[in-house]
């Protein structure tokens, strides 16, 4: 199971372009670092739980 989203994941979720996906990650990493100053961030990635909390994207399991 993944712990982080990268730009491709953000693109698929939001429908954003690649450059916008990277901007979203940069902005979220900046706010994450301010909120949790003693944590290490990874360039080009954002924790899934933080992205979903901030963006209010809640995954819904589909029953086929």
For the chain, give every domain's residue range.
Answer: 4-55
Please list the pLDDT of the chain residue by residue as tens digits (64 residues).
899 999 999 999 999 999 999 999 999 999 999 999 999 999 999 999 999 999 885 555 545 4
Global confidence as pTM? 0.80
Please report the pLDDT score of residue 57 as a whole number. 57
> What's the rounded Cα separation, in Å, for the pair 52 and 20?
17
């Amino acid at each position: 199971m993944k712990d982080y989203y990268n730009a491709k994941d953000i693109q698929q979720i939001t429908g954003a372009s690649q450059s916008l996906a990277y901007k979203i990650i940069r902005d979220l990493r900046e706010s994450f670092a301010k909120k949790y100053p003693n944590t290490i961030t990874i360039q080009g990635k954002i924790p899934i739980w933080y992205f979903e909390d901030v963006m209010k994207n809640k995954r819904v399991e589909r029953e086929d």
